[in-house]
Amino acid sequence: MSLDEKSAAALAAAPHRRPPVPRWMLGLGPLVLIAILLGLFTLLNAPGLNKLSDGVPPKEEVAVEDIRLTSGQIAITVRNEGPDPVSIAQVNVSDYYALFTQTRETMAPLESTTLTIIYSWVEGDPYEVALVTSNGGKIPAVIEAAALSPERGSSFFGLMLLMGIYVGVIPVALGMLWMPFVRRSSASWVRVLLGVTVGLLAFLAIDATLEAVGLLAGSGAFGGPMVVFLGAVTAYLILEGTDAWMRRHQNSSAAGQPSALPPQRLALLIAIGIGLHNFGEGLAIGSAYAVGSLALGASLIVGFAIHNTTEGLAIVTPLAKQAPGLGRLVILGLIAGAPAAAGALLGATVYQPALAAFLLGIGAGAVAQVAVKLLPMLKDTAGKAFTPLTGAGIVLGMGLMFATGLLVQA
């Protein structure tokens, strides 16, 4: 018998083997099993564990998300942030129990309800509202100075769009007028200006993070302050991955050897990062005005304009040795400034603190990633990135943003 015949006979005599289970099924199987077990556990109401909650009062954690005042009415939106259902039984407005209606009688965890309170409020007067739950708990809501909430019509949205242009598009465009000065600067001064840019971006990242965490102070819904860091890490990794893909696609540098980004791409990344930050800023502006807690005075507009003008300088500084066309500069300015208008519109229409904090976190992560990418451009002829001049530039950039930020708070 030949060798081929022996092999064929051995294969025929061997038992039939089943085909291997697909890899995707091996990965999906445990997830399906976990989902089934959790579903049964929930459906059966945690069998055997009910006695653990006997005699334990329900934990009520309710956050006030929105307060709107209309003629003869106060509308308050609250969200249940605790693990147990919550029902609002009474409403007390400055020691007066008022009639009210609500969109949801009982709030399950993470659900919200809007209470419409019948109360003749007086403009300019302060009010303390206490929402009393069915278990006797009290949820405080403070109205510092009663004022009619703006109607969300076409004129209101036009005002928000104009507000976004004033605080976003125009200041960034004015800041980009420093382009001729930057182009005529020596190499040493360009490194100083790049240091200023790094300081600006670092301040924006820190400021956005603190503002986002402040929005969720005392709130545990949707993960609380963790959503801020989730947004920051997400934005950082997305921009980092996009940059790595562009490097491989264009073969701009050797593998494993980090180098400075091309100036035009770096300017684009700066504009994107600032745009994401300005979107979050516009979101905060729109939501604050929608609830009547922001006065659109001339001093506030000037403060925001000066504060955001420095962002235009950050965009054009990497282009010091380039000759970008007017069209490219206009596009960069719109990428950085226009999101403020979009954010103001969204914030005035649909506002949710966790979403606003997440978007601010995205802006913080984006500008932090761009600041890191700027560091290789600070190197002098000796290859040193941190010199007294660049260090002074970083401090100056952060100082400028801090000083102009005081105008916004004033």
403 and 278 inside one domain: yes
Positive or negative, the Cα torsion across 46, 51, 52, 54? positive
**Among candidates 122, 143, 204, 157, which has minimal Cα distance to 374?**
204
Instruction: Give the number of other CB atoms < 10 A from CB of residue 68.
Output: 18
Confidence of residue 290 (pLDDT cuts 50, 70, 90): low
158 and 80 inside one domain: no
The tokens for 47 are: 């069998």
Is residue 70 a part of any domain in this protein? yes
Q: 0.75 cut: is pTM over it?
A: no
Mean pLDDT of all residues in the chain? 79
CATH at 77: 2.60.40.10
**pLDDT > 60? residue 293:** no
Given 113, 143, 173, the domain boundary residue is 143
For residue 38, give the amino acid letter. Answer: L
HSE toward the beta carbon, residue 354, CA cutoff 13 A: 15
- Looking at residue 256, what is its pLDDT? 47
Please write down the HEC assignment for all residues of the chain.
CCHHHHHHHHHHHCCCCCCCCCHHHHHHHHHHHHHHHHHHHHHCCCCCCHHHHCCCCCCCCEEEEEEEEECCEEEEEEEECCCCCEEEEEEEECCCECCEEECCCEECCCCEEEEEEECCCCCCCCEEEEEEECCCCEEEEEECCCCCCCCCCHHHHHHHHHHHHHHHHHHHHHHHHHHHHHHCCCHHHHHHHHHHHHHHHHHHHHHHHHHHHHHCCCCCHHHCCHHHHHHHHHHHHHHHHHHHHHHHHHCCCCCCCCCCCCHHHHHHHHHHHHHHHHHHHHHHHHHHHHCCCCCCCHHHHHHHHHHHHHHHHHHHHHHCCCCCCHHHHHHHHHHHHHHHHHHHHHHHHCCCHHHHHHHHHHHHHHHHHHHHHHHHHHCCCCCCCCCHHHHHHHHHHHHHHHHHHHHHHC
254 and 298 inside one domain: yes
- Looking at residue 8, what is its pLDDT? 58
Confidence of residue 294 (pLDDT cuts 50, 70, 90): low
What is the C-alpha separation between 294 and 278, in angstroms, rounded?
A: 17
81 and 184 inside one domain: no
Given 88, 118, 143, the domain boundary residue is 143
The tokens for 340 are: 């403020």
358 and 258 inside one domain: yes
What domain count does the chain have? 2
Q: Is 23 left (phi over 0), alpha (psi -120 to 50) or beta?
A: alpha
- Looking at residue 6, what is its pLDDT? 57
Is residue 212 a part of any domain in this protein? yes
Q: Which residues of 80-113 are buried (b: 16+ CB within 10 A; e: fewer)?
A: bbbebebebeebbbeeeebebebeeeebeeeebb
Query: What distance lies between CA 297 and its chain's CA centroid?
Result: 26
Is residue 163 a part of any domain in this protein? yes
- 17-30 per-position pLDDT tens digit: 667 777 877 788 88
Is residue 208 a part of any domain in this protein? yes
293 and 391 inside one domain: yes
Is residue 38 a part of any domain in this protein? no
Separation in Å, CA 178 to CA 38, 182, 263:
60, 6, 16
91 and 206 inside one domain: no
**pLDDT > 60? residue 105:** yes
**pLDDT > 90? residue 258:** no
Is residue 13 a part of any domain in this protein? no
104 and 219 inside one domain: no
Bridge partners of residue 96, in order along the sequence: none
Of 102-116, 200-214, 236-250, where does mean pLDDT reach its minimum? Answer: 236-250
201 and 67 inside one domain: no
Of 113-117, 297-301, 335-339, where does mean pLDDT reach its minimum? Answer: 297-301
- 35-91 per-position pLDDT tens digit: 888 887 777 666 666 665 565 667 788 888 888 888 899 999 998 888 889 999 999
Is residue 272 a part of any domain in this protein? yes
What is the C-alpha separation between 202 and 135, in angstroms, rounded?
A: 47
Q: Are 312 and 173 in contact (CB under 8 A)?
A: yes
Is residue 76 a part of any domain in this protein? yes
158 and 130 inside one domain: no
117 and 207 inside one domain: no
Query: What distance lies between CA 409 and its chain's CA centroid?
Result: 20
**pLDDT > 50? residue 257:** no
Residues in the chain: 410
251 and 336 inside one domain: yes
Given 89, 119, 143, the domain boundary residue is 143
Domain residues for 91?
Answer: 62-143
The tokens for 18 are: 């089943």
Separation in Å, CA 76 to CA 10, 63, 66, 67:
80, 11, 6, 5
